[in-house]
Structure 1
Amino acid sequence: MEIVLAESKDAPVIHQVMLQAFQEYEKATPPSSALSETVDSIEQAMQQNEQAFIGYINKQPVAIARFTLSSKGIYFYRLSVIPERQGQGLAKVLICQLEQYALSKGVTISRCKVRMSVPRNIELYRSLGYVVTTEEMVKNRNGNSLAIVTMEKRLSN
């Protein structure tokens, strides 16, 4: 998979991959707020410090990860792999790229938030060395309450 750092003009690609990946959460309780995001909302976020990686196979976008970088660490979210490519290790490759990018910027903490109702995602991050640091109830973009865990990993070369 070829991974590129996205530009705001790539918002339609990010949106398309994210919607495909998050479609399985349409019937979740509550449904994922990712499904209510728009190309415009992604473009605006990217103009205000959000970044993203896009993974391509044969020039076709198959995976994305959105993130912000600060002195406190890299925080990634909306990690998305299109359904027909899930289970092939692409998420792990993207996470590795995020971690390497963070280290190259002098950042040593990687963090994400995960729905407690999706144990396979928690297990994915655990398998990569992430640990649960907090459990909380939060309101998502749509105002729905959601039980989540924050997972972190200390990065080193």
Structure 2
Amino acid sequence: MIIRAATASDSAVIHDVMIKAFEEYKNETPPSSALEETIQAVSDALEKGEKALIAFDEGEPVGMVRFQVKKEDLYFYRLSVLPKKQGDGIGKKIVRALEEYASRAGVSTIRCKVRLTVPKNQKLYSSIGYITYDEEVVMKPNGVGIKVISMKKVFSAFKEE
């Protein structure tokens, strides 16, 4: 498996993997806003400084993550693995690659938010050393609130593994 940094020219690939992975959340209340994003929106975000990693297995894209680096923090979102590849450890490999990126960038903390209605994601992050540090209700533009937890892993934890 190869995991590499993405560029704006990878927007269609990033979008395709994300839409396929987030399809399972289309019946959530509310559905994930990832399903409303366009290729152009992904491209615009990458042009404005957002970053992404893409995982390839035998030359085919199988997963990706989008993220931003702000001072000593790296915040990631939209971690996506193709449904047929979920359970193969690809998500963990992508997060490990993200941690390596953070280490090289001098970042001290990696953070993410997880819907409380998706415990498998919370379990995934917990299994690789992320801890819950906050819980909140995020209000969507349509007035629907989503309960989320914030999780983080502190940089010093990377060195101990």
Q: TM-score range by the shorter chain?
A: over 0.9
Cα distance in 2, alignment partners of residues 80 and 142 from structure 1: 25
Q: Secondary structure at the match of 2:20?
A: helix
TM-score (normalised: structure 1):
0.96
Q: Does 1:72 align with 2:72?
A: yes
Structure 2 residue runs without a partner (length 5+): none
Cα distance in 2, alignment partners of residues 11 and 60 from structure 1: 15
Cα distance in 1, alignment partners of residues 69 and 83 from structure 2: 27
Q: Which residue of 2 aligns with 1:127?
A: 127
Partner amino acid, structure 1, of 2:94: L
Cα distance in 2, alignment partners of residues 94 and 69 from structure 1: 16
Cα distance in 2, alignment partners of residues 42 and 87 from structure 1: 26
Task: Map Cα deviations across residues 94-148 of structure 1 (whole Å, 9 max, x no partner).
Answer: 0000011001011110100000111111011011111111100112476642110
Cα distance in 1, alignment partners of residues 62 and 50 from structure 2: 20
Residues 4-153 of structure 1: matches in 2 within 5 Å? 4-140=4-140, 144-153=144-153
Structure 1 residue runs without a partner (length 5+): none
Q: Secondary structure at the match of 1:49?
A: coil
Specify whether residues 30 and 154 from structure 1 end up closer, same or farther in structure 2 by C-alpha distance, changes over 3 A only: same
Please report the RMSD computed on the Cα atoms of aligned residues, expressed in angstroms: 1.2
Q: Secondary structure at the match of 1:31?
A: coil
TM-score (normalised: structure 2):
0.94
Between the aligned residues of both structures, percent identity stands at 44
